[in-house]
Amino acid sequence: MEDMYFDDYMRHKSYGSGGYYKSSLSVNEKKDFITSPNISNFFGNVIGKFIAEKINKRFNKESFNIIEIGSNDGTLSLHILDYLSKFKNKIYQKTHFFLVEQNSNLEKKISKNLYKHKNKFTICSKLEEINSENKNSFIFCNELFDSLPFHRCVFREDKLYEILISKTNTKYIEIEVEARTKLKEKIISLNMDIESNFFFEFPSDEFFEMVKSINNIDNNILFLSFDYGDKKNILGTSKYPNGTARTFHNNKVGDSFYNNNVDITYSINFELLSKEFIFYGFNEELFETQTKFLIDNSFLEIINDNIKSSSLDNVKLKNLISPAFMGEAFKVVFFSKII
Ligand SMILES: C[S@@+](CC[C@H](N)C(=O)[O-])C[C@H]1O[C@@H](n2cnc3c(N)ncnc32)[C@H](O)[C@@H]1O
């Protein structure tokens, strides 16, 4: 292997041929980490309720699309469609659903999982493939941004460095080299503080291109996103001297970036995400923890209504809202742009 910058390495490991996110196994089947829709269908039910309320209020009875980006095997979309068909049938009848998943090896699984909604959805591999006359789109994603390639950086004595990886016969060596000009210019242009000597991650092009593609849809857009992370106008913190980059394998968190078959991820800086959406004229309407979002949007009522009809796994459900697990670490952000 030639020397590679960390973001190129991650791009190759996650999205190159044979990469982690090119597998025909879904995230759930891989069992390296669990995402909220794979914990319980109530997560998607709450989102379905939120989507229906916003569509009723904001799209003025006009026709609309509902779009999931990074759907993996379609589990979250399934739970949303199930909810809409059962409880918000008027919306369901009018909905056309798009699942945008870059991994075409999952298409068959998506179609199988969503079979009962078979005339309601289209699978695309990128947002640009969506072909629709509708002028209103509700777009959502769960753990999309944290799976995109990123740089690992550190600021020392007025200079920005990034990690370059060099491979010898037996091991990978991380070397700090002066950051490339494009990366330096991007970071400077954002006017954020940087804490010296602490590593931080900075998203690579895919993050910025994603926001641009969402904006390019050129519709009235409501956008809801769930991810792990925090909101602060600073890059680097003493809380995580080595940054937040980490790996997941067999449900264990680690830093074995150079092992095969690990998921590489990091915590999203929501300030950066907001800056991008605001740059394109979006309004930030909500930023809060997943716990607050779920509770404010009838999570407990939805569970109560289902207590008799299904066997509830209380431990799993607690994981969705518990401060010690996903509830506080995961954040929700909601942007709107009504043209
Ligand atoms: C961490 S997984 C989350 C999967 C699912 N949303 C969930 O919560 O279980 C990230 C997903 O985003 C997909 N993805 C990454 N970049 C994408 C892109 N540019 N367009 C569409 N999907 C993308 C990956 O293939 C993967 O399925």
* pLDDT for position 147: 98
SS3 267: coil
Q: How far is the CA of 323 from the centre of ligand 1 (A)?
A: 25
Q: Do residues 96 and 120 make contact, with C-beta atoms less than 8 angstroms apart? A: yes
What is the number of residues in the chain? 339
Output the pLDDT for position 326.
67
- For residue 146, the CA-to-ligand 1 centroid distance in Å is 9
Q: Could you tell me the pTM of the whole model?
A: 0.96
Ranges of the chain with pLDDT below 70: 307-315, 323-327
Rounded Cα distance, 93 and 80, in Å: 13
Among the atoms of ligand 1, which is closest to the Cα of residue 210?
A: 19
Chain segment 50-87, per-residue pLDDT in tens: 999 999 999 978 899 999 999 999 999 999 999 999 99
What's the gap between Cα 159 and its chain centre? 31
Distance, CA of 41 to CA of 28 (rounded, Å): 14
Ligand 1 centroid from CA 25, angstroms: 13
Instruction: Give the per-residue pLDDT at 238.
Output: 80
Give the pLDDT score at 313: 66
Nearest ligand 1 atom, CA 71: 6
Taking CA atoms, 17 is separated from 12, 20, 147, 273, in Å, by 8, 9, 16, 28
pLDDT of residue 320: 77
β-strands 246-249, 252-254 pairing? antiparallel
pLDDT score for 186: 96
Question: How far, in Å, from the CA of 109 to the mean position of ligand 1?
Answer: 14
Atom number, ligand 1, closest to the C-alpha of residue 100: 21
Structural domains present in the chain: 4-337 (3.40.50.12710)
